[in-house]
Every structure is written in C-alpha cells, then in structure tokens.
Amino acid sequence: MSEEITIKEIMSSPPITVSLEESVIRAAKIMAENKIGCVIVVNNDGKPVGIVTRRDLVEKVLAKAKDPLRTRVKDIMSSPLVYVGPNTPILEAAKLMSRKDIRHLPVIDVNGLIGVVSDRDILTVAPEYIELMIVRKGGI
C-alpha cells in the first residue's frame, strides 16, 4: 500500500525559500518561525540552487564558530540539490534519502519548486520504512 503513495500526497507546500545572499541568522529565524527543518535557497530568478538544513547550521556555522549575522546561506548551503518529482513513489524517495544521508528533499516539477518532503513526512504514512530510513552512513 505505501509504495503506491507518491510524494505529492505528503509533501509540504508551498516551500519556504531564501535568497543566496540571505544571512544565516535570518534563515535560522525563518526556520524557527515556520517550525521547519530546512529552507530552499533560490537564485535571483527564483530557481532552486541549494538547501540549508538544521544540520548545516550546526555543522557549518555553530561548530566552526562562524558569525551567523555575516555568513550568507550561499556559503553553507548544500548544492547541487538532490530532489524528486511529485510523482515519485515514497519508497524511492526514502531509499534516495537513506543513500544520500539526507532528511529533506525538494520537490520539483516542470514549473519549478513546488514542495519539500522530509523523512518524518514519509515515516508518518509509511512507518514500515523506519529501518531503511535510520540505517545511514556508518550504520545505526
């Protein structure tokens, strides 16, 4: 049953975006205000070019004692984007997330960025994927 569910059925939409030049502190505030684990970074044309996650904030800013007021999201974002289409089965997305050791996937169709899906979104509808999702780099 779960393998029939597609990403478009569980993704969060619209996705929250920030510009390349946005400060890390502003991105963190946006994430906190919206209770989300990532923001999608877009260029001047609105095209998605990267992602900033809570993990990025901890590992690339806090752990390295960088100034979050002066550091720009373009300097810490993960890029190129790993993404899925809206008709991707959730099992395929879960496997991709596990293989790439990521927790968030932008959803992009022919018109551009339309949503974001998290590992939590997938596990909410398909708890049987828990072992697949927790076995990441280096094991449990």
Residue 93 and residue 61 in contact, taking contact as beta carbons nearer than 8 Å: no
- φ/ψ of residue 70, rounded to 5: -100, -25
> Is residue 140 a part of any domain in this protein?
no
Mean pLDDT of the chain: 91
CATH number, domain containing residue 85 = 3.10.580.10
> Is residue 41 a part of any domain in this protein?
yes
Six-digit token pair at 21?
Answer: 């030049």
Q: Which domain holds residue 81?
A: 2-134
**Which residue, among 84, 99, 111, has the nearest Cα to 11 in the 3D structure?**
84
> Is residue 139 a part of any domain in this protein?
no
Give the model confidence (pLDDT) of 26-85 as tens digits: 999 999 999 999 999 999 999 999 999 999 999 999 999 999 999 999 999 999 999 999
Q: Determine if the pTM surpasses 0.75.
A: yes
